[in-house]
């Protein structure tokens, strides 16, 4: 997996992080580290472009949730927490769609994983980049 970063401006400055390749146990921590780096550099609104990501494992779900926590200024999930991490994801999912991290163009296998796990109820999914960028609104 490798990642590319771009910026876009609408009502807010949006960082677009494109993930190329699979997101799994071998590299999910790289995504979390990149999100931490972006947050520390001032990014607050993140669009994850999944157009070129063909597979996401359960570790990828933990990474997506951790990225969302980071963008809210919270501590990411403990990577060693095991099932506790999935319970935390479920609790967050129950709070509704959040506004700081959104997804763009998940591929069919990834989209199926998002639907089966209910992450599509927590992370807004868009199919058009400009629509996604325009959907971010200032928070707080």
Q: What is the pLDDT of residues 87-134, one digit of tens each?
A: 566 666 556 678 899 999 999 999 999 999 888 988 999 999 999 999
State the Cα angle at 33 between 18 and 69, rounded to 5°. 85
- The DSSP result for the chain, as a single string, is -EEEEEEEESSSEEEEEEEES-BSTTTHHHHHHHHHHHHHTT---EEEEEEE---B-HHHHHHHHHHHHHHTTPPPPPTT-THHHHHHHHHHHTT---SSEEEE---HHHHHHHHHHTGGGTSEEES-HHHHHHH-----
Q: Spelled out in words, what is the top-level CATH class assigned to the domain 2-135?
A: alpha beta
* In contact, 93 and 119? CB cutoff 8 Å: yes
Q: How far apart are CA 14 and CA 114, in angstroms?
A: 22
Which of 39-43, 63-67, 80-84 shows the lowest per-residue confidence on average (mean pLDDT)?
80-84
Name the pTM for this structure.
Answer: 0.89
Q: In this predicted model, what pLDDT tens digit does every residue of 4-23 receive, in sequence order?
A: 999 999 999 999 999 999 99
pLDDT-derived band at 139, boundaries 50, 70, 90 = confident
Q: Where are the domains of the chain?
A: 2-135
């Amino acid at each position: 997996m490798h990642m590319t970063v771009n910026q876009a401006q609408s009502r807010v400055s949006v960082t677009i992080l494109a993930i190329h390749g699979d997101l799994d146990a071998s590299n999910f921590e790289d995504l979390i580290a990149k999100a931490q780096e972006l947050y520390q550099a001032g990014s607050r609104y993140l669009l994850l472009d999944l157009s070129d990501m063909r597979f996401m494992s359960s570790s990828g779900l933990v990474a997506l949730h951790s990225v969302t926590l980071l963008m809210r200024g919270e501590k990411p999930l403990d990577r060693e927490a095991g099932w506790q991490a999935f319970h935390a994801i479920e609790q967050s999912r129950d709070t509704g769609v959040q506004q700081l991290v959104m997804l763009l163009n998940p591929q069919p296998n990834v989209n199926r994983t998002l639907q089966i796990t209910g992450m599509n109820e927590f992370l807004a999914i868009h199919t058009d980049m400009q629509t996604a960028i325009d959907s971010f609104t200032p928070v707080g």
